[in-house]
């Protein structure tokens, strides 16, 4: 029982409460991952078979960390080769839909579309319907459809409820979009959840089968679940109620993508017999950081009250820098980061957080001028053109119905198959092609056959290398421009990425039959992971990119650093006004939660800043300090500026419209 000795009393209580519903309210830095993994291991130690345990979180990074911790603990016990299912919600949806593809009305080899793929199909749907993209923005329509899917609506159910000109257009595009996906045997991210829920609701036998398999269910970040995720969890746990959810109302920052705070607030109502355990001992931050965070968040009303405490000392005061403008602020952040690095601190332990993406540009310029290494989270590796080309070759080899993938690569590299030829091919008129183009297309199909054949008896990294070389992409880039050489380096990195699946393949104890026909399991897993990448998955754990991390606060959720900068703390920017004339109380509280999340990313030192002037949309504006700053006790703030004197305390300004 030594594994229990490392837990504090509340963590231990949560680990031992194995039967029935349990809500663990885990404040920032209170060891929720440790508690969850120890609880899973305790269940196994008590005789529960690993296959009867399911744990779901929101990012691949978090799932990987949980998996590694559980496997390490299990390695201490001889004979424990099988691990529980530890995955994201979307990965769970893939697992269920592949397994029960026939019942879900899908092919086993269905393709998972990323955000770029879905936008292409939405635009194609609009073009087919004659809807002008300059009048009706495709991105807005796509986002609207996604939000409705998060609420559990289908194209059919939404169509029956439409009542405005815009929603009528959305409804028509949605129906056509679903038709295009169906033709390609493809699903989008939202389908992975919505179709899983539909399957569980309509097929009692499948629901019972999964309930009998997963007798102990754990949900991380429960405050971030949307309506569909909530219903999936409810159905999986309805027969045994052994449901452990972990969350924090103060860290709900994703309402814009469907997260419903009521799911965690109503847990006791949903499960009256539930136990509630609060984790309040913080192992991350100093007392001053926690005091600032507590003073900020306690103004919110929609929350489960808790008070974080720590055995660490007071730590340094919170630094507050007043800049003349955004350039001054960015220079200060870059030079301070350089000073920290010169003092022997690791660049990977420094993060710069900001409210909106546009703030990154001026920061990048400042870091480049100061010659400070940095890593910007935002440009996803797997969204680069050359990477998507290789992935499309692989997906097209396994799923010949995926017309989007075939359209992407049929002329990449150039094969002389122009738009007219492609239209004939996609219309089933292959025989109408001129002889030369017919032979070219036959060679293309033979290439896809060779890719499929090669996958069956080679490691994933060998397979990816084969695709890069045989497709002609390697030859196309190797003698090209400097940009082409960079693309080639990215393709080499893709091979490196695939090696992690080589290891998984060699360590696999009991090989499972592939869920995609013709696709070896580890290649299938690689495709799934690529499709479900999140912003946090860009962080290089091997420290190959050992620079200061620049990211939005939303991307920083779940991460922690020794030194944290939070820039742009100006009224209107953070809290963010956006384009809404009036923010609701819920919107205002979410902005406050977002600031709370930013504050609690810091372990040792917290550095805040704002600019008195900032140019936004080409117009220079004078700013007032964020109201959030006035919530932090003055005695724990250390002020500085570039003006040679003390910075005045934040004051409120009333504007008169003459």
Tokens of 271: 């499960």
Q: Looking at residue 504, what is its pLDDT? A: 57
DSSP assignments along 328-382, one per residue: HHHHHHHHHHHHHHHTT--GGGEEEEESSGGGHHHHHHHHHHTT--EEETTS-GG
Asked whether the predicted pLDDT for residue 350 surpasses 80, the reply is yes
Q: What's the whole-number mean pLDDT along residues 213-217?
A: 96
Which whole-number Å values give the CA distances from 76 to 29, 45, 53, 599, in the listed order?
Answer: 26, 11, 19, 37
CB 4 within 8 Å of CB 12 = yes
The structure tokens 């100061």 sit at 370
Question: Residue 171: helix, strand or coil by DSSP?
Answer: helix
Query: Residue 120 — very low, low, confident or very high, per pLDDT cuts 50/70/90?
Result: very high
Q: Is 117 exposed, middle or buried (0-12, 13-18, 19+ CB in 10 A)?
A: buried
In this structure, are strands 111-112 and 374-376 parallel, antiparallel, or unpaired?
A: unpaired
Asked whether the predicted pLDDT for residue 182 surpasses 70, the reply is yes
Question: What is the enclosing helix (H) or strand (E) of 592?
Answer: helix 585-599
Q: Looking at residue 493, what is its pLDDT? A: 80
Q: What percent of the chain has pLDDT over 90?
A: 62
Q: Looking at residue 618, what is its pLDDT? A: 61
In this structure, are strands 619-622 and 602-616 parallel, antiparallel, or unpaired?
A: antiparallel
Query: Residue 651 — very low, low, confident or very high, per pLDDT cuts 50/70/90?
Result: very low
Please provide residue 581's backbone torsions phi and psi, each rounded to the nearest 5 degrees.
-70, -30
Q: By 3-state DSSP, what share of the chain in percent is helix, strand and coil, each rounded to 5?
A: 55, 15, 35
CB 62 within 8 Å of CB 35 = no
Asked whether the predicted pLDDT for residue 635 surpasses 50, the reply is yes
Distance CA 621, CA 606 (A): 26
Of how many residues is the chain composed? 658
Asked whether the predicted pLDDT for residue 633 surpasses 80, the reply is yes
Q: Looking at residue 495, what is its pLDDT? A: 87
Question: Residue 510: helix, strand or coil by DSSP?
Answer: coil
The structure tokens 């949903």 sit at 270
Q: Return the higher-pLDDT residue of 146 and 419.
A: 146
Strands (E), 336-492: 350-354, 374-376
Q: Looking at residue 654, what is its pLDDT? A: 40
Distance CA 126, CA 121 (A): 9
Closest C-alpha among 535, 533, 22, 526 to residue 240: 22
Asked whether the predicted pLDDT for residue 656 surpasses 70, the reply is no
Question: Residue 272: helix, strand or coil by DSSP?
Answer: coil
pLDDT tens, position by position, 426-451: 888 888 889 999 999 999 999 999 99
Measured between its terminal Cα atoms, the distance across the chain in Å is 73
Which whole-number Å values give the CA distances from 360 to 216, 347, 570, in the listed order?
Answer: 43, 17, 16
Indicate the range of 85-89, 305-309, 515-519, 652-656 predicted with least confidence. 652-656
Which whole-number Å values give the CA distances from 646 to 607, 612, 625, 639, 641, in the listed order?
Answer: 17, 15, 15, 7, 7
Closest C-alpha among 207, 261, 204, 257 to residue 237: 207
Q: Which of 126-135, 534-543, 572-581: highest mean pLDDT? A: 126-135
CA atoms within 13 A on the CB side of 342: 9
Distance CA 323, CA 327 (A): 8
Closest C-alpha among 193, 60, 27 to residue 68: 60
Query: Residue 655 — very low, low, confident or very high, per pLDDT cuts 50/70/90?
Result: very low
Q: How far is CA 495 from the centre of its chain?
A: 23
Question: Residue 26: helix, strand or coil by DSSP?
Answer: strand
Query: Residue 223 — very low, low, confident or very high, per pLDDT cuts 50/70/90?
Result: very high
CB 477 within 8 Å of CB 469 = no
Question: Residue 293: helix, strand or coil by DSSP?
Answer: helix
Q: At what angle do helices 32-45 and 60-74 cross, to 10 degrees?
A: 40
Asked whether the predicted pLDDT for residue 516 surpasses 50, the reply is no
Q: Looking at residue 617, what is its pLDDT? A: 56
Q: Looking at residue 135, what is its pLDDT? A: 87
Q: What's the whole-number mean pLDDT along residues 1-8?
A: 87
Question: What is the enclosing helix (H) or strand (E) of 578?
Answer: none
Which whole-number Å values give the CA distances from 186 to 150, 179, 404, 622, in the listed order?
Answer: 18, 10, 10, 49
Q: Looking at residue 55, what is its pLDDT? A: 96
Dihedral sign for Cα 533, 535, 538, 541, please. negative
Indicate the range of 333-342, 360-369, 414-423, 518-527 predicted with least confidence. 518-527
Asked whether the predicted pLDDT for residue 646 surpasses 80, the reply is no
Which residues participate in catalysis according to the annotation?
A: 32-33, 220-221, 251, 601
Asked whether the predicted pLDDT for residue 78 surpasses 60, the reply is no
Asked whether the predicted pLDDT for residue 543 surpasses 70, the reply is no
Q: What's the whole-number mean pLDDT along residues 37-54?
A: 93
Cis bond upstream, residue 268 (ω within 30): no
Tokens of 114: 């990323």
Asked whether the predicted pLDDT for residue 72 surpasses 80, the reply is yes
Question: What is the enclosing helix (H) or strand (E) of 71?
Answer: helix 60-74
Query: Residue 644 — very low, low, confident or very high, per pLDDT cuts 50/70/90?
Result: low
CB 377 within 8 Å of CB 555 = yes
Lay out the sheet containing 22-26: strands in order across.
85-88, 53-57, 216-219, 243-247, 22-26, 275-279
Residues contacting residue 386 through CB under 8 Å, at least 6 positions apart = 473, 477, 487, 488, 490, 491
Report the largest interatomic distance among the alpha carbons of the chain, rounded to a whole angstrom: 82
Which whole-number Å values give the CA distances from 263 to 74, 227, 233, in the listed order?
Answer: 32, 8, 11
Asked whether the predicted pLDDT for residue 355 surpasses 80, the reply is yes
Q: What's the whole-number mean pLDDT along residues 34-53?
A: 94
Q: What's the whole-number mean pLDDT along residues 40-67?
A: 91
CB 252 within 8 Å of CB 221 = no
Asked whether the predicted pLDDT for residue 409 surpasses 90, the reply is yes
Dihedral sign for Cα 636, 642, 644, 646, please. negative
Asked whether the predicted pLDDT for residue 649 surpasses 50, the reply is no
**From the CB of residue 569, how many other CB atoms can be counted at a distance below 10 Å?**
27
CB 92 within 8 Å of CB 196 = yes
pLDDT tens, position by position, 227-271: 999 999 999 999 999 999 999 999 999 888 888 999 999 999 999
Q: What percent of the chain has pLDDT over 70?
A: 90
Kindly report whether the global pTM for this prediction surpasses the value 0.85.
no
Q: Which residues pair with 253 in a beta bridge?
A: none
Indicate the range of 391-395, 401-405, 550-554 predicted with least confidence. 401-405
Q: Looking at residue 549, what is its pLDDT? A: 94
Which whole-number Å values give the CA distances from 223 to 107, 302, 411, 553, 589, in the listed order?
Answer: 33, 12, 46, 17, 14
Indicate the range of 167-181, 336-350, 500-514 predicted with least confidence. 500-514
Q: Looking at residue 641, what is its pLDDT? A: 82
Please provide residue 96's backbone torsions phi and psi, each rounded to the nearest 5 degrees.
-70, -45
Q: Looking at residue 512, what is its pLDDT? A: 44
Q: What's the whole-number mean pLDDT along residues 6-16?
A: 95
Q: Looking at residue 536, what is its pLDDT? A: 52
Distance CA 583, CA 35 (A): 37
Asked whether the predicted pLDDT for residue 356 surpasses 80, the reply is yes
Asked whether the predicted pLDDT for residue 652 surpasses 90, the reply is no
CB 564 within 8 Å of CB 351 = yes
């Amino acid at each position: 029982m030594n594994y229990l000795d490392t837990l504090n009393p509340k963590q231990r209580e949560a680990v031992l409460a194995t039967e029935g519903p349990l809500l663990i309210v885990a404040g920032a830095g209170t060891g929720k991952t440790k508690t969850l993994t120890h609880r899973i291991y305790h269940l196994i130690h008590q005789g529960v078979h690993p296959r009867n345990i399911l744990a779901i979180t929101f990012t691949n990074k978090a799932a990987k960390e949980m998996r590694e911790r559980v496997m390490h603990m299990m390695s201490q016990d001889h004979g424990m080769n099988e691990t529980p299912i530890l995955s994201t919600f979307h990965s769970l949806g893939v697992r269920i839909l592949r397994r029960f593809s026939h019942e879900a009305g899908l092919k086993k080899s269905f393709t998972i579309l990323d955000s770029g793929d879905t936008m292409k199909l939405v635009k194609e749907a609009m073009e087919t319907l004659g809807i002008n993209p300059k009048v009706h923005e495709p991105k807005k329509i796509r986002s609207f459809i996604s939000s409705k899917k998060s609420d559990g609506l289908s194209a059919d159910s939404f169509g029956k409820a439409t009542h405005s000109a815009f929603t009528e257009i959305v409804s028509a595009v949605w129906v056509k979009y679903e038709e295009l996906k169906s033709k390609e045997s493809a699903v989008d991210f939202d389908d992975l959840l919505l179709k899983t829920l539909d399957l569980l609701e309509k097929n009692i036998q499948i629901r019972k089968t999964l309930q009998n398999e997963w007798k102990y269910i754990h949900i991380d970040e429960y405050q971030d679940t949307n309506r569909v995720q909530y219903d999936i969890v409810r159905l999986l746990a309805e027969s045994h109620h052994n449901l452990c959810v972990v969350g924090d109302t103060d860290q709900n920052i994703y309402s814009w993508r469907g997260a419903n705070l009521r799911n965690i607030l109503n847990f006791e109502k949903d499960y009256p017999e539930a136990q509630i355990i609060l984790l309040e001992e913080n192992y991350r931050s100093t007392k001053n950081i926690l005091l600032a965070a507590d003073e900020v968040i306690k103004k919110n009303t929609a929350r489960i009250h808790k008070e974080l405490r720590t055995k660490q000392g007071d730590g340094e005061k919170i630094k507050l820098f007043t800049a003349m403008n955004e350039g001054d602020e960015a220079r200060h952040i870059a030079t301070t980061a350089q000073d920290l690095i010169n003092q022997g601190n690791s660049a990977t332990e420094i993060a710069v957080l900001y409210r909106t993406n546009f703030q990154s540009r001026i920061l990048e310029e400042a870091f480049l001028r100061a010659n400070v290494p940095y890593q910007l989270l935002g440009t996803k590796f797997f969204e680069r053109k050359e990477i998507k080309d290789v992935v499309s070759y692989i997906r097209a080899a396994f799923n010949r119905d995926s017309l989007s993938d075939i359209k992407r690569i049929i002329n990449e590299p150039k094969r002389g198959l122009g738009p007219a030829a492609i239209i004939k091919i996609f219309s089933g008129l292959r025989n109408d092609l001129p002889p030369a183009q017919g032979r070219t297309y036959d060679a293309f199909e033979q290439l896809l056959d060779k890719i499929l054949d090669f996958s069956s008896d080679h490691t994933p990294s060998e397979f990816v290398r084969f695709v890069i070389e045989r497709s002609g992409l390697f030859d196309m880039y190797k003698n090209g421009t400097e940009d082409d050489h960079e693309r080639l380096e990215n393709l080499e990195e893709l091979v490196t990425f695939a090696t992690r699946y080589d290891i998984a393949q060699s360590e696999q104890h009991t090989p499972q039959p592939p869920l995609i026909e013709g696709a070896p399991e580890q290649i299938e897993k690689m495709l799934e992971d690529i499709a479900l990448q999140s912003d946090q998955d860009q962080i290089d754990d091997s420290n190959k990119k050992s620079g200061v991390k620049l990211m939005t606060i939303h991307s920083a959720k779940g991460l922690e650093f020794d030194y944290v900068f939070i820039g742009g703390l100006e009224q209107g920017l953070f809290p963010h006004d956006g384009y809404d004339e009036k923010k609701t109380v819920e919107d205002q509280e979410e902005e406050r939660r977002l600031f709370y999340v930013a504050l609690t990313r810091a372990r040792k030192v917290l550095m805040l800043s704002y600019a008195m002037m900032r140019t936004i949309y080409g117009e220079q504006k004078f700013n007032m300090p964020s109201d959030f700053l006035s919530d932090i006790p003055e005695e724990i703030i250390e002020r500085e500026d570039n003006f040679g004197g003390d910075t005045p305390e934040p004051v409120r300004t009333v504007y008169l419209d003459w």
